[in-house]
Amino acid sequence: MNVYLMFRDHDFNPEAEHEFDSDTLASDLELKRIFEVMSLDDKVIASVCASAMLHPLQDKEEILYRQAIVMDSIANPEAVRTLYGITIEAQKRIRQSWSWLSLTQSVSCVFSSAVSLLKIYVEMLLRLRKVAENETQNFHSDGFIRLLTMLQSELNDTYFHKIKELLHELENGRGMLISATLGSCNQGVNYVLRRKETDHFRRHWFFAPAYTLSERDDAGFADLSNRRERAVNESSNALAQASEHVGYFFKQLRQELAFYAGCLNLHEALHARKMPAVMPEILPPDKEERSYKFLYDPALALTTPSPVTGNGLDVVNKRLYIITGANQGGKSTCLRSVGQAQLMMQCGMFVGAEKFTAPIRKRVFTHFKKEEDKNGISGKLDEELARMDEIASHLEPECLVLFNESFAATNEREGSEICRQITSALVENGIEVFSVTHLYTYAASFLGYAPCGVQYLKAERTPGNRRTFKIISGEPEPTAFGKDLYHKIFEDSNNPSCFYCFLANK
């Protein structure tokens, strides 16, 4: 039996090797908070959701396949959580049963352990089938319909009756029926475990010759044990394989359901804060357009008690987005919201917005400013250039790169020239770029840029210089907004520590 809830035709592997920059990407986009809300301290959910989001899908049909299952999960939260809960209970009972399979066990121990494990799995499979019988009509996605239909067809009453009968017989403590043939020198060979004919067993064997071992016959017991091991060897292998197969099914079912349980937790957390979540519209990778309404940062929305601000955009034929404006105006938050939405879209999830349309991107890279190297091994600019060099070695057309105040560790002229050359090389090779910057020379150098469309954005300010934390369309301004800092420091004329105020009072 196959789960196939994450992919249409193969299993999901949450232990797949992460990309070189996965930790940096998660840190820059503040995904940790999202993973915490999704997992609710469930380590399996945390691991699966992180793996899914940091391995974005590239195929539109695969994304749509997951989207349909996510929507089914949101419409049937109790059923999904019940299924997930059964997988958790199955693994818990296995751990508590003191039954396990190991290469170091004797054949008889493997036989006994496999029987015990299968009894637990059969009980859990029966519970899965009952859920499927009650809930199939409520699901509409291909993934859930296939899974729930399979549980009913493969695990029918005949199957359960037969498997329970066999396990009861194998666990029966009244002994085993073993056959053998005579080999050379009248040695027993071809030992085989046989099924007992329950209707005629006593009549056939009641008058059969019998031999009872003495309590002190250690050699006889050892010989009988050896013959028993030889007889059950083939059956032990079959039982162990069956147990491992069913165990893998439960493990895979838990891992794949964990993603959708995490999506449910996140969706409910956002709904509790009255924040919108929408299934995005997916465009092909060759498209250069973006459209979103009230796009916000879910990590921020889940952290701060105050309402967060959403942004809107509707552009076509743009490959470069340059965001300027004063500090603490919402630029970095906007940049993170774009990156988060891209990853959430490409793992089949909803995004934090009222509307979101974007093209598929092969990879998402971030190059955010970092703190100074405390070890003094390299300067800040050297470190930024080294990170950019590593990113460049993995870039290809139709990727997305997010810059946040990159290369500002040097002076305006040098920083602008470094940014200009890197940005030009990226967009001219088919890579989409979002860049938050304070470097006016760099930003202004793309005014009227011919090789690709450029969209200028800026942090909005009211006529009274109040920040709204919204990002709107607007060309860069040749100012560092030092006037804001001046007013912030000197706005209190009664501050005795202010030298300006001291002179004014004099």
Say if residue 488's pLDDT is above 70: no
Model confidence pLDDT, tens digit, residues 290-330: 999 999 999 999 999 888 999 999 999 999 999 999 888 89
- Residue 229 CA: distances (Å) to CA of 166, 172, 181, 232: 19, 17, 16, 5
Say if residue 76's pLDDT is above 80: yes
> Worst-scoring range by mean pLDDT, 130-139, 178-187, 255-264, 349-358?
178-187
Say if residue 158's pLDDT is above 60: yes
Secondary structure (3-state) at 335: helix
Secondary structure (3-state) at 167: helix
The dihedral built from the CA positions of residue 263, 268, 273 and 275, taken in this order, carries a sign that is: positive
- Res. 206 pLDDT band, cuts 50 70 90: low
Structure tokens at 484: 């804001």
> Worst-scoring range by mean pLDDT, 5-19, 246-260, 297-311, 464-478?
464-478
Model confidence pLDDT, tens digit, residues 261-276: 999 999 999 999 999 9
Whether the Cβ atoms of residue 502 and residue 492 lie closer than 8 Å to each other:
no
pLDDT at res. 283: 97
Say which residue, 500 or 153, is predicted with more confidence.
153
Q: Indicate whether this model's pTM tops 0.75.
A: yes
Q: Is 27 exposed, middle or buried (0-12, 13-18, 19+ CB in 10 A)?
A: middle
Exposure class string for 375-386: b at 16+ Cβ within 10 A, else e: eeeeebeebbbe
Whose tokens are 């030092």? That residue is 482
> Worst-scoring range by mean pLDDT, 64-68, 204-208, 356-360?
204-208
Say if residue 8's pLDDT is above 90: yes
Read off the pLDDT of each residue in 54-70 and give the average, rounded to a whole number: 97
Residue type at position 58: Q
Task: Residue 302: count other Cβ atoms within 10 Å of its Cβ.
Answer: 20
pLDDT at res. 408: 84
Whether the Cβ atoms of residue 138 and residue 97 lie closer than 8 Å to each other:
no
**What is d(CA 49, CA 255) in angstroms, rounded to the nearest whole number?**
9
Model confidence pLDDT, tens digit, residues 423-467: 999 999 999 999 999 999 999 999 999 889 999 999 998 877 788
pLDDT at res. 195: 72
The dihedral built from the CA positions of residue 312, 315, 318 and 324, taken in this order, carries a sign that is: negative
**What is d(CA 428, CA 446) in angstroms, rounded to the nearest whole number?**
12
Secondary structure (3-state) at 294: strand
Residue by residue, DSSP assigns 100-120 as ---TTS-HHHHHHHHHHHHHH
Say if residue 403's pLDDT is above 70: yes
Residue type at position 179: S
pLDDT at res. 503: 46
Model confidence pLDDT, tens digit, residues 88-117: 999 998 888 766 656 556 777 777 788 888
Say if residue 421's pLDDT is above 50: yes
- With pLDDT > 70 as the criterion, what percentage of the chain qualifies? 88
- Res. 217 pLDDT band, cuts 50 70 90: confident
- Res. 502 pLDDT band, cuts 50 70 90: very low
**What is d(CA 476, CA 148) in angstroms, rounded to the nearest whole number?**
56
Q: Where do runs of H (alpha helix) occur along 105-217?
A: 107-135, 142-154, 157-171, 201-205
Type and span of the H or E element at 75: helix 60-75
Mean pLDDT of the chain: 87
- Res. 203 pLDDT band, cuts 50 70 90: low
DSSP state of 31: H
Structure tokens at 59: 């195929």
**Integer distance in angstroms from the first to the last C-alpha of the chain?**
87
Torsion of CA 173, 179, 182, 186, to 10 degrees: 10
Task: Residue 420: count other Cβ atoms within 10 Å of its Cβ.
Answer: 18
Say if residue 73's pLDDT is above 80: yes
- Res. 500 pLDDT band, cuts 50 70 90: very low
β-bridge mates for residue 400, sequence order: 364, 432
pLDDT at res. 230: 77
Closest CA to 152 of 133, 139, 135: 133
- With pLDDT > 90 as the criterion, what percentage of the chain qualifies? 60
Structure tokens at 467: 């920040």
In angstroms, what is the C-alpha Rg of the chain?
Answer: 33
Read off the pLDDT of each residue in 11-18 and give the average, rounded to a whole number: 91
User: What residues contact 261, with CB distance under 8 A and at least 6 apart?
Assistant: 42, 45, 73, 80, 81, 84
Highest mean pLDDT among 29-43, 87-101, 358-372, 484-498: 29-43
